[in-house]
Homo-oligomer: A and B are copies of this chain.
Amino acid sequence: MNWEANVRKVVPYTPGEQPKIKNIIKLNTNENPYPPAPAVAERIKETDVSDYRKYPDPTCSVLVDAIADYYNVDKKNVFVGVGSDDVLAMAFLAFFNSEKPVLFPDITYSFYDVWAQLYRIPYRQVPLKDDFTIDVDDYTGYGAGGSKASDEQKKEGCGGIVIANPNAPTGVFLGLSAIEKIVADNRDVVVIVDEAYVDFGAESALPLINKYDNLLVVQTFSKSRSMAGMRIGYAFGSEKLIKYLSDVKFSFNSYTMNMPSLELGALAIADKEYFEETRNKIIATRERTKVKLKELGFEFADSKTNFIFVKHPQRSGKEIFDALRQRNIIVRRWDIERISEYLRISIGTDEEMDQLIKALKEELKKC
């Protein structure tokens, strides 16, 4: 027998391209076009790198405290990790150990099924409605609370739920009352609400954590906090939930967050004014871009995120993608049947979006 027989073989997630060439307009990974809060640049110059010889604080207290302060919650309700991917990966491992399938939409963050496969968690992908909205009835009726699931679904049951809200790559937001209905109806499993994009105009489920101890709300520094390069994610939940999650994290790696992440993350989140200023700029650019895309005939659901998920009735997604790429403008596209005609366009600066619109206008004139 060969050693390869015991290898966990997986099909990994494919991240968006990070090209090393300069002079491109990069609208493919929902990065923030503005730099991190000014205190980050100031503090880094004062770094005493001799501190790096020591291990970082395993409890991440400086960062946890800063997040707890900002959101006005107890630090026992806060968990931090190496980007929200790390937080979500730990949560899947910690909470989804049922033989019943975990539920999430068919069109959503494409890492969910990768984690499920990695940990051999059964899962069922629930189709979004035609307009890419979530039907709450698809996620209720499994436990004692409701009865709207089909007989077959009820028989199969539910081992947990993951909802990206706003959803990705669609950008569509599900209202808080719908989220609460799902959480309330599934008290016997953990419900994860992945709010990577919540700061661009949507509403967080954070206030619900005190009412529902089975709710985990996950957020990130990668989008609205301009710190994708630092890898900082965080989550809110009941003290009990966070304790279980921390136990799994401490069984995996005691020190996941390095010193710069802890220190610079804590400084960045404290600057509420800069955060409001930059996210409002991005929201304004998004709304302005929506108008122009509509003028060009693009179709899209309303987006509450820092991207817009568009298709054009006359031109294929692949065609537009390739044409933009030729002009050094990179957007994101998936070879997935239901969304193969769509492009996900991140919101950059006004200038970048003007160049995008100009390029699209020229391309659409062709033939």
User: Shortest beta-carbon distance, A265 to chain B, in Å?
Assistant: 10
Q: Which of A165-173, A226-234, A318-326 contacts B (4 or more CB under 8 A)?
A: A226-234
Interface size on A, residues (CB 8 A): 89
User: Shortest beta-carbon distance, A204 to chain B, in Å?
Assistant: 21
Assembly CA distance A188 to B115 (angstroms): 27
Q: Provide the residues of chain B in CB contact with A40, threshold 8 Å.
A: 49, 52
Contact A36 B49 (CB under 8 A): yes
Contact A41 B36 (CB under 8 A): no
Chain A, 4-24, CB within 8 A of any chain B CB: 4-13, 15-16, 18, 20
Q: Provide the residues of chain B in CB contact with A26, threshold 8 Å.
A: 54
Contact A248 B8 (CB under 8 A): yes
The answer, yes or no, to whether A177 is at the interface (CB within 8 Å) is no
The answer, yes or no, to whether A118 is at the interface (CB within 8 Å) is yes
Q: Provide the residues of chain B in CB contact with A86, threshold 8 Å.
A: 252-253, 256
Main secondary structure of the interface of A (DSSP, over half): loop
Per-residue CB contact flags for chain A residues 246-260 toward chain B (1 = under 8 Å, else 0) read: 111111111111111
Per-residue CB contact flags for chain A residues 142-182 toward chain B (1 = under 8 Å, else 0) read: 00000000000000000110000000000000000000000
In the complex, 23 of the A-B residue pairs with CB atoms within 8 angstroms, ordered by the A residue number, are: A3-B188, A3-B190, A4-B240, A4-B244, A5-B98, A6-B160, A8-B244, A8-B248, A10-B248, A13-B254, A15-B255, A29-B55, A31-B54, A40-B49, A51-B229, A55-B228, A85-B255, A86-B253, A89-B253, A118-B252, A229-B258, A231-B257, A260-B260
How many monomers of this protein are in the complex? 2
Known interface pairs A3-B213, A52-B229; 8 further A-B residue pairs with C-beta atoms within 8 A, sorted by A's residue number? A11-B251, A12-B250, A45-B47, A52-B226, A53-B227, A85-B252, A86-B253, A258-B260
Assembly CA distance A47 to B47 (angstroms): 11
| Contact status of A254 and B49, CB under 8 A, knowing A228-B55, A229-B55 | no
Q: Provide the residues of chain B in CB contact with A12, threshold 8 Å.
A: 246-251
Of B18, B56, B82, B250, which one neighbours A13 at CB under 8 angstroms?
B250
